Structure 1
């Protein structure tokens, strides 16, 4: 029997959890609730086992009609973890199903504070407030087994174990083909594995009736950009926008693709359209719109508008997203340094960005390149060597290190780094500069460069050329959690599109 196979499924915590949960659902499917509960009660040891045990015990109790046990176990799971959507959804749908609509609304509303505007939550709240019923999260043992596999796949995807996650998710979808959240999670895992075509196939299979369909359509557009099909991406998102003209997430996605395709002025107009639709008091939830518009303004040569937006984004980014704050600090500070403005503040901010995200080679590159721009060659070498260790395959960082080596007299090493940068497939305009340096080296500096201890006294607008480039990592901040905001923008606007 299947139950015996589940019991022999493997060794280790994950295998024990999987086998035990699937065995319990097999008993539930056979109508043996007592054996199902006994099986689940064997889950002990790992702390997170308790949440899985209570969640699935509640779902099993609901399926077999044990209302009191279902309420007790689902409430226990919810009390232990009310920040996980599936647990919130399962608990709220059960409460709504037994007539406790107020408790269901409260649960969804609390989740909204953690993850605003999630389409499944918005849809459920709209139905509850309109007096419409919600279907149970799980209606059969087969769907319950699929939920086990989905939960394991979702956890693996979140932790970066995409390959086993994809296996679990495909098994879940075999058992429950209409599991829209599972299909969305599968698409995201494939995306992270750089299987973008397959990712789009999974997104396209989400039914039109699902609240997640709009999220899927947005991701399809962003992925088309990743595939180098930018015109198709713009067409696709234009079509989605016509059907959802006031949806901030669709408008933002369109702006991201425009920015990736270096249509910076158009992108600023698109982001402005989205910003104008933000509800009063919700600016903090949409800080990325100001950040993205600021980067687009900067690339379009409208520095004053860019600076205002970047400052606003820095004030709005929540403290719970340190990597995101590091990206905003990086972009604003680097832009100041590149214009010889606010030198001391810039270095303080860049060092803060490194402290917040110490393993981000691109941010460390920005600090090193800022030292280089100010003529502090030895400091530049120190930081850029760290950046290359963290991000050895990035052509920009290797190019920067080559420049720093050259300025410190290590010219053979400088040429080696330039050659390495050339081999890493840089952008065509950067390749031309690298080839020129390989041939002739760097010219001598025209004049002494300002330092953080000796900022320029002149009007920087009169003495400093336009920025060479925006910080090349600054187009990829950590976005707020929750669909349908894209998990990542489509790629640095001053680089080849790519995540």
Structure 2
């Protein structure tokens, strides 16, 4: 991870900032995410601490040992371990510029600002033009109210397009901190004329004007920013808060309502809308220079995520949180980024740092439960989610998370029960609720309750919106494959699978379903073609291996059939499937199927004798 130089990271990251407003808009767009539910008034259950969730490595005694360990940890994306080893190196080695720079980046990515600022100071002694070191030091200066010093650093570090946007916006906020209103707005307006920067100019110009009490300027810029990006919650939220304080509550309510038409369950918009409807006041979007500068870094960190540059995103988000430790969306975004990098313990610690009063806290606690499951803390995961439900039985997201965990564990009765509790809290199901019916239907199908499962799957198909073609494809595939596999409604099932293929032509599971439908319809050559295509997408899927073996047997390719069945066994099939595959290897497909039919007939007769 740390092989590239910081300047390379900044350069590659900042290139996306000149590609146009469409990309830049992401910097101020807050995704709806998995954050349903309002914040609970009660304290969240205490989550385990980072050092309780993972073993923090102990530094080596030698320089070489720590260097190697830091490099391996960095390459693996483990910022906590990497920073641990670099801290020891930092204290042991003072004259190696490359090591110092790598250590600096590791400290930033891990959020260790104490060591990061010390490292930046050392770097600047020999390389005063290092833009990332200047940025880190400037952030530290802004945090401590040294605004003139921060501006000076940003002028030194902000050379060319690679750093100009960040430096310009932070200098503007530093001018605002000094009360230099005209200089602050003129600095923001330096971005005028750059198409890709316009949304930043409008948004931060409005925030600065509002902060400095320039109501007319703020009103104009907020309106222009909202018109340019009506689906960006950062802008919608700031506009609405300003409009409400400007005695335009109806316009503030309308802005939230319009946003919620697209993101109907976003907790921040929902909570603030309800507050305005209840005649409650909302605080300013930005009430300090630190918060304004933090918003700059949070927005740019979000752009880094959208472009796949995790390291620069980590650095910017860590700097944002250093300036404003209670920035709930920066914390949530950082936690999600850490989760995507499989740093589950660090993600839990970050989610738990979201303020208790934030509308995001409830969703964060649900996410902690899922992360505990990822850490194989199975008992802790269930206990955490059950504690959330015990405190608030209406917490639908906690019910859903518990259901998902049970489904992944193949505890299908418990999963179906939890999905049922979540569905009972819906009221009138809407398009966003199709997954609940789909997953409950899948759980019921695995329990052998096909009639109830089919009803749920049909309900999911009715609810899934046109904007979710992949979701529709999954439902069509599940229904169609189930019918085909049970030898009922073969033609209808085949038609559904064909429609699923049109929606998701490269999905190996759906291609497998089409091949299996051809097998059931006796169209063996077509089945061979599709199942061979499916195996290219899913070479190690035991079901696809098993299906391909069956169709090879039917067309007389017996050796290839046995090879595929052996591969299926090697790929860990379900227990029932394993028994059948072993039987086919022993006596062949025809005899194995005949034995299976006799067994099923015998069970049916025994059941009839016992009164069903």
Give matches, 1:161-172, under 5 Å. 161-172=309-320
Q: Superposition pairs for residues 311-390 of structure 1, below 5 Å?
A: 311-390=458-537
Contact 2:253–2:273 under 8 Å retained in 1: yes
Match of 2:154 in 1: 3
Measured at CA, do residues 419 and 19 of structure 1 come closer, stay the same or move farther in structure 2, by a change above 3 Å?
Answer: farther
In 2: Cα distance, 1:393 partner to 1:359 partner: 16
**Do residues 100 (structure 1) and 248 (structure 2) align?**
yes
Q: Secondary structure at the match of 2:348?
A: helix
Equivalent in the alignment of 2:348 = 200
Match of 1:49 in 2: 197
The alpha carbon displacement at 1:415 in A equals: 6.1
Q: Partners in 2 of 1:247 and 1:263 — Cα distance?
A: 21
Partner of residue 279, structure 1: 427
Structure 2 counterparts to residues 137-286 of structure 1, below 5 A: 137-158=285-306, 160-280=308-428, 282-286=429-433
Residues 146-188 of structure 1, C-alpha deviation per residue, up to 9 Å, x if partnerless? Answer: 2122122223434554443333222221222111111111111
Change (3 A) 1:214 1:436: same
Pairwise CA RMSD of aligned residues?
Answer: 3.3
Q: Distance in 1 between matches of 2:441 and 2:241?
A: 41
Task: Name the structure 2 match of 1:443.
Answer: 589
Is the contact made by 2:240 and 2:253 (CA closer than 8 Å) also made in structure 1? yes
Distance in structure 2 (CA, Å) of the matches to 1:46 and 1:87: 19
Pick one of 260, 266, 269 that aligns with 1:118.
266
C-alpha separation in 2, matches of 1:341 and 1:108: 49
Identify which of 302, 308, 312 aligns with 2:455. Answer: 308
Preserved contact between residue 268 and residue 293 of structure 1 (Cα < 8 Å): yes
CA distance 1:406–1:223, change in 2 (3 Å): farther
Matches of 2:375 and 2:170, distance apart in 1: 39
Paired residue total: 448
**Counterpart in the other structure of 2:28:** none
| CA pair 410-33 structure 1, distance change in 2 beyond 3 A | farther
Given that 1:248 and 1:274 are in contact with CA atoms closer than 8 Å, whether structure 2 keeps it comes out as yes
Shift, 1:306, TM fit: 0.6
| 1:458-497 C-alpha deviation (Å, 9 max, x unpaired) | xxx989x9xxxxxxxxxxxxxxxxxxxxxxxxxxxxxxxx
Over residues 415-451 of structure 1, what are the superposed CA-to-partner deviations in whole Å (9 max), with x where a residue is unaligned? 6666666666x35638956984896595347679xxx
1:429 maps to 575
Q: Structure 1: 5+ residue runs without aligned partners?
A: 449-460, 466-499
Q: Assess, with a 3 A threshold, how the Cα gap between structure 1 residues 59 and 392 changes in structure 2: closer, same or farther.
A: farther
How far 1:194 moved relative to its partner?
2.4
Secondary structure, counterpart of 2:589 in structure 1: coil
Instruction: Name the stretch that deviates more: 249-258 or 207-216.
Output: 249-258
Deviation of residue 391 (structure 1)?
A: 4.8
- By how many angstroms is 1:107 displaced? 1.2
TM-aligned CA deviation for residue 91 of structure 1: 0.9
Deviation by residue 1:98-123 (Cα, 9 ceiling, x = unmatched): 22222111111222211122221222
Distance 1:288 1:393 in 2: 27
In 2, Cα distance between equivalents of 1:162 and 1:373: 47
Conserved 8 A contact 1:230-1:261: no
3-state SS of paired residue (1:134): coil
Relative to structure 1, the CA distance from residue 126 to residue 418 in structure 2 (aligned partners, 3 Å threshold; closer, same or farther) is same
Aligned to 2:359, the other structure's residue is in SS state coil
Once the two structures are superposed, the pairs formed by residues 409-420 of structure 1 within 5 Å of their partners are none
- Distance in 2 between residues matched to 1:26 and 1:284, nearest whole Å: 46
8 Å Cα contact 1:78-1:91 kept in structure 2: yes
Aligned counterpart for 1:72 among listed residues 215, 220, 227: 220
The CA distance in 2 between the partners of 1:420 and 1:158, in whole Å, is: 39
Deviation at 1:334, TM superposition (A): 1.3
What's the CA shift for 1:89?
Answer: 0.9
Once the 2 structures are TM-superposed, how far is the Cα of residue 389 of structure 1 from its aligned partner? Answer: 4.0
